[in-house]
Amino acid sequence: MENSETRADGEVDVSRLVVMSSRVRLARNLSGTAFPGWAKKADRQKSLESIKAVARELPEMKGALVRSMDEFTAIEKQLLVERHLISREHAAKTVGSGVVISESETISLMINEEDHLRMQALMPGLCLREVWAVIDRVDSELEEHLNYAYSPKLGYLTACPTNVGTGMRASAMLHLPALVLADQINQIVQAVNKLGLAVRGLYGEGTEASGNLFQVSNQTTLGERETDLIERLGKVILQIIEHEKNARQALMEKRPQMIYDQVGRAYGILGNACVQSSKEAMNLLSMLRLGLDLDLIQGLDRKRIDDMFLLTQPAHLQKHVQQKLTAEQRDVTRASLLRDMLKDIGRPKTMSFSSPESTDQGQQDRPNVS
Amino acid sequence: MLCDFCKENEATIHLSQVVGDKVSKVDLCEACAKAKGITDPGNITLLGDVLGEFGAGPVAADSEGLRCPACGFTQANFKKQGRLGCGTCYETFEPGLRPLLKAMHKGERHVGKSPRRVAVTKGSPERIKQLEKELARAIKDERFEQAAQLRDEIRSLEAGAKSSPAV
């Protein structure tokens, strides 16, 4: 396979295929003033201004986007949510809340979300240690100028007691299509939960998993050192990757026609549909990505799938066509854009069904088109 | 399954929380869930509340009207919102929060990063001495998990006192 996921030894690095992104976020509050949810409007405004003033001077924030939430349109806010730069909760804020987002979008600060300061570093691939190093440095720089609410016993004090201590949530976004297809995902989720880690959907807490994307993160923040937690989370993620890898292998050995079929259908529908919901599109793109990982599709690169994935999201779609669209219009526009993006990609490999399989009986009657 | 609280209606809301090997479960009917202020079942802060770990028992009975001197936040506010008002609230509501934090987290004591200004003062010989005393007591009482945490904290403080702040 000719892509960046191929290592020097020629073997495909599965962790690059499975892990979409790694993120660490820290929650911090200013000492001596009420948390945003309880603060008076004037105090909130004051916290916003003082944090903004310090944050924009950071070396990492050269050329950053510095804005108050009331200066964004609804679509712009949604765009930031889809890029995982702000939370859905923060998108609902207006005057008195703001963002500082680095030019590369690696570092993002939400001011006056649930806490005075929520900062994150987000990078593609499995790189929890690196993102921790980035956000740790930003935090230390901010702390030179901001007096954080901190207690020696309880650590960083946060609005919600679930975040007190390190205030840290470390997470990775995983693409686990084979575990879903093999019906093993629930077992994995349960096992991960038992380790005190949470598995969530695409946009974090309370969101549904679509496109076979799952966010794995720590649930507790008190009584464990940041670096220890990151090591522990990293190890669990490597195990999940291993399970996904095994599930892919097992499916290709035992039920290859099912995989070929899923990938072929995804290609067929994405390449021909005229109305396409975002949910359906995401699930189909997930299958296309799996097809790419398994070398069943030629001429398609990961970058294009990622673009298709992002373009499928409502705000990105509307930004692309520079037009506000209703849900129905979006489904039509989405279908047309995705069709276009697949136009020059050849059909995926199909299987020869000369030897009948014991499962998926219906498949045998189909003519072989490869 | 009947609601754990009214024991009359069918329970339709099932909360469970796993921390380490501790599993807490509660099943409620819609009316009781509403009365307990559960609007978001994903919000685990409220679980301890429902289970009676916060706002129940002798401590809470005394502190029913408790109000944070720094920000005016009350215990009733916390029950409703599941969020605190300011940093001082952690001291104000400490007796009620302690079991909640214990159920929610891995440990009861912060062992991670600390701001540089705190790390400097925290690394003072007196503070380390005090922690060593706590450690000896914890070992004597066979509270080994806590002892391990204290040991880690002392180590990080000793490292922090010698060089730049502990990270």
Q: Tell me, what's the ipTM? A: 0.83
The pLDDT of residue A345 is above 60? yes
Q: How far is CA A246 from CA A199, A224, A249, in A?
A: 20, 31, 5
Rounded mean pLDDT of A362-367? 44
Cross-strand bridge partners of residue A118: A27, A110
Return the pLDDT at A137: 97
Check A162 against B111: CB less than 8 A apart: no
Cα separation of A159 and A135, whole Å? Answer: 20
* Chain-chain contact of A34 with B105 (C-beta, under 8 angstroms): no
What total of structural domains would you count in chain A?
Answer: 2
CB pairs under 8 A between A and B: 128
With a pLDDT cut of 90, the percent of chain B lying above it is: 26
Reported confidence tier of residue A327, pLDDT bands at 50, 70, 90: very high
Q: Using CA atoms, how far apart are residues A185 and A206, in angstroms rounded to an integer? A: 18
Q: Shortest Cα distance from A73 to chain B (angstroms)?
A: 27
CATH number at residue A68: 3.30.590.10
Cβ neighbours of A25 in B, within 8 Å = none
- Mark whether A191 and A321 lie in a shared domain: no
Residue A310: domain span: 256-342
Is there a domain that residue A359 lies in?
no
- Say yes or no for a CB contact (<8 Å) between A193 and B18: yes
- Range A199-215 average pLDDT: 79
Residue A234 has pLDDT above 50, yes or no: yes
Residue A293 maps to a domain: yes
- Mean pLDDT calculated for residue range A16-27: 94
- Does a structural domain hold residue A10? yes
Q: Looking at this protein, which amino acid is placed at residue A12?
A: V
For residue A366, is it within any domain?
no
Question: Which of B20, B77, B83 has its CB closest to that of A196?
Answer: B20
My answer on whether A270 and A334 are in the same domain is yes
Structure-model confidence comparison of residues A108 and B53, the more confident one: A108
Q: Give me A292's structure tokens.
A: 């790419």
Nearest-angstrom CA–CA distance, B167 and A297: 46
A245 exposure class (CB count in 10 Å sphere: 0-12, 13-18, 19+):
middle
What's the pLDDT score for residue B123? 59
Question: Are residues A231 and A275 located together in one domain of the fold?
Answer: no
B70 contacts in A (CB within 8 Å)? 34
Q: Which of B110, B126, B144, B164 to mutate to test the interface with A (most CBs of A within 10 A)?
A: B110
Mean pLDDT lowest for which of A98-112, A198-212, A215-229, A280-294? A198-212
Residues A278 and A222 occupy one common structural domain? no
pLDDT confidence of residue A167: 98
Q: Indicate whether A148 and A261 sit together in one domain.
A: no
Model pLDDT, residue A3: 42
List A residues 65-104 in contact with B (Cβ-Cβ < 8 A). Answer: none
Does position B44 have pLDDT exceeding 50, yes or no? no
Pair A87, A30 in one domain? yes
Residues A241 and A291 both lie in one domain: no
In Å, the largest CA–CA distance within chain B is 63
Query: Best interface-test mutation with B: which of A89, A164, A200, A231 has the largest number of B CBs within 10 A?
Result: A164
Return d(Cα B139, Cα B117) in angstroms, integer. 30
Q: What is the pLDDT of residue B109?
A: 93
CA distances from B95 to A103, A256, A336, B21, B35 (A): 45, 59, 60, 24, 23
Any bridge partners for residue B22, and if so which? B19
Give B50 to chain A, closest Cα distance, Å: 15
Label residue A54 by pLDDT band (50, 70, 90).
very high
Band of pLDDT at residue B120, cut at 50, 70 and 90:
low
User: Are residues A181 and A43 both part of a single domain?
Assistant: yes
Alpha helices (H) along A36-150: 41-55, 74-82, 88-91, 128-143
A343 touching chain B per CB within 8 A: no
Q: Do residues A150 and A28 both lie within one domain?
A: yes
Nearest chain B residue to A136 by CA distance is B167
Q: Is B113 in Cβ contact with A226 (below 8 Å)? A: yes
3-class secondary structure, A178: helix
Residues A269 and A236 reside in one and the same domain: no
A158: nearest CA partner in chain B: B87
**Is A333 among the domain residues?**
yes
For the segment B73-77, the average pLDDT, to the nearest whole number, is: 91
Q: What is the mean pLDDT of residues B20-47?
A: 60
Residue A11 pLDDT level (bands cut at 50, 70, 90): low
A175 with A225, same domain: the answer is yes
Residue A41 inside a domain? The answer is: yes
Mean pLDDT for A339-350 is 92
**CA A254 – CA A144 distance, rounded (Å):** 58
Q: Measuring CA to CA, which residue among A169, A166, A165 is closest to residue A233?
A: A169
Among A212, A245, A278, where does a domain finish? Answer: A245
Give residue B31's pLDDT: 72
Q: Is the separation of the CB atoms in A225 and B152 below 8 Å? A: yes
Mean pLDDT of B130-153: 85
Q: pTM for this one? A: 0.77
Residue A311 placed within a domain: yes
CB contact under 8 A, A152 and B122: yes
Residue of A nearest to B82 (CA): A160
Point out the domain boundary residue: A245, A277, A312: A245
In a domain, A251, yes or no: no
Q: Is A220 on the interface with B (CB under 8 A)?
A: yes
Which positions 126-155 of B are in contact with A (Cβ < 8 Å)? 127, 149, 152
Return the pLDDT at A272: 97
- Mean of pLDDT over chain A: 90
Lowest mean pLDDT, pick from A219-228, A288-297, A350-359, B154-163? A350-359
Q: Percentage of chain A surpassing pLDDT 70? A: 90
A269 and A224 together in one domain: no
Assess whether pLDDT exceeds 80 at residue A209: no
- A95 has pLDDT over 50: yes
